Amino acid sequence: MTDRIATLDMGPLMIPCWPRFRSIVAAAGLLLICAMRPASALDMPSPFVQEVLIKSILVSLNDAVAANNFAVFHAKISKPFRDQFSPEKLKTIFKDLVDKHAVFDAVVAKPIVLDEDAKIDDKGVLRLKGHFDTTPKQVKYQLGFIPSDGAWKLSGISIDIE
């Protein structure tokens, strides 16, 4: 079963968002807090910083879904992404997650499984793709980050729970 497909379009930074959810991932999670150094267009973040980026944005999205309030999540994304997608528009895009009461905060307690090596593409977008071996379903992600406000910030997201 596939739910609707939404696209978060950032022009050249477009990343699709396919919220297909067959089941809810339920588990307790921990909040990961870590300060990150500013990023420039040429700096590849260390594996540790990549893990912090991935887990912190997924936990922020989880919290937004749980509260049905995307204001904090909106504040954590890149400026171009914020300019294009208001908290209300994000709420609409992730409506399937909210409606299904999706919980995927267990990712903070699991190791990242990379599906592709991290890379910075020719447009300066840090691309991170992988999954978490969570149960009962796997959490898969594709994330794009750009330097914004002095740090790597989300520019696109695709999350799939299957």
pLDDT digits (tens, 9 = 90+) for 137-155: 889 999 999 998 889 999 9
Give pLDDT, residue 33: 24
Q: Which residues contact 140 (CB under 8 A, 6 or more apart)?
A: 115, 130, 131, 159, 160, 161, 162
Nearest-angstrom CA–CA distance, 154 and 142: 11
Q: Out of 3.30.465.10, 3.30.565.10, 3.10.450.630, 3.20.20.70, select the CATH number for domain 47-161.
A: 3.10.450.630
The chain-wide mean pLDDT, for the chain, equals 79
pTM for the model stands at 0.75
